[in-house]
Amino acid sequence: MLAEYLATEGFETDTLHDGEAGVKAALSGDYAAVVLDIMMPRLNGIDALRRIRQSSRIPVIMLTAKGDDIDRIVGLELGADDYVPKPCSPRELVARLRAILRRSGDAARQSRTTEPAALGPIRVYPEQRRAEWEGTPLELTSAEFNLLEMLVAGAGRVLTKAALCEGALGRPHTRYDRSVDVHMSNLRQKLAAFADGQAPIHTVRGVGYKMAFE
């Protein structure tokens, strides 16, 4: 049903019915994004995502059971870019897909002339969708890159969770949505690996986040 609806919205889709086949297709290089269900035979969605993230940054949207916060958080921690609870609205899935593709593809094409943004040892290249720490590439998911780009552009200023959710994930922030927090935790850990254990992302309790180097 979802594949048929996506086709009417202009997407070309393939449907696979077990996790192992899904991982193989996701890593083939033939697709722009993955919609990954948690409940699949042979290999569940969590394990499939873990395998995908071992070698690919392809955007991934997880389909999770409504109210299942554990699967949702684990998926985000493993590198999922977003999630949609089941039973899901096809229109919502389309909106999430377009938001992710716009940021990972269209945004890059629209910013060919954008100069790299620099903050301390970090350099962000919007046109190439890549970032570096003192010349060493950072392995970031699409959502993590979007957050880092916003933090660098707003260096020293506090960015609210609402602004980060809208700008990086392409959707409004809701009261119990922890997506930004989990993505930010993943990003902080990756930066801390280069910064002697201290990432330059600071939490402003009750408001949001900011990036600053001492």
Fold of 1-110: Rossmann fold (3.40.50)
Contact yes or no for 208/160 (Cβ under 8 A): yes
Q: What is the pLDDT of residues 92-136, one digit of tens each?
A: 999 999 988 887 765 444 444 457 889 999 999 987 889 999 999
Q: What is the pLDDT of residues 60-96, one digit of tens each?
A: 999 988 667 888 899 999 999 999 988 888 999 999 9
Order of strands across the sheet with 208-211?
Answer: 159-160, 208-211, 201-204
Reduce the DSSP state of residue 38 to 3 states and report it: coil
Report the alpha-carbon distance of residue 69 to residue 163 in Å, rounded.
Answer: 23
Report the alpha-carbon distance of residue 206 to residue 88 in Å, rounded.
Answer: 30
Report the alpha-carbon distance of residue 13 to residue 139 in Å, rounded.
Answer: 27
180: confidence class by pLDDT, cuts 50, 70, 90 = very high
Res 106: pLDDT: 52
Q: How much is the pTM?
A: 0.76
Percent of the chain past pLDDT 70, that is, above it, reads 93
Contacts of 66 (CB under 8 A, 6+ apart): 85, 86, 87
Residue 15, pLDDT above cutoff 50: yes
Q: Compute the mean pLDDT over every residue in the chain, rounded to the nearest whole number.
A: 89
Res 122: pLDDT: 95
What's the mean pLDDT in 144-152? 94
Residue type, 200: P
Order of strands across the sheet with 122-125?
Answer: 117-119, 122-125, 130-133, 136-137
Res 19: pLDDT: 94
Report the alpha-carbon distance of residue 183 to residue 168 in Å, rounded.
Answer: 10
Res 110: pLDDT: 45
Q: What's the CATH code, domain 112-214?
A: 1.10.10.10
What's the mean pLDDT in 163-167? 92
| Ordered alpha helix ranges (H), the chain | 2-8, 19-26, 45-53, 69-77, 90-101, 107-110, 142-153, 161-164, 179-192
Give the C-alpha distances (Å, rounded to integers) separating 129 from 20, 57, 198.
28, 11, 24
Res 212: pLDDT: 87
Domain ranges of the chain: 1-110, 112-214
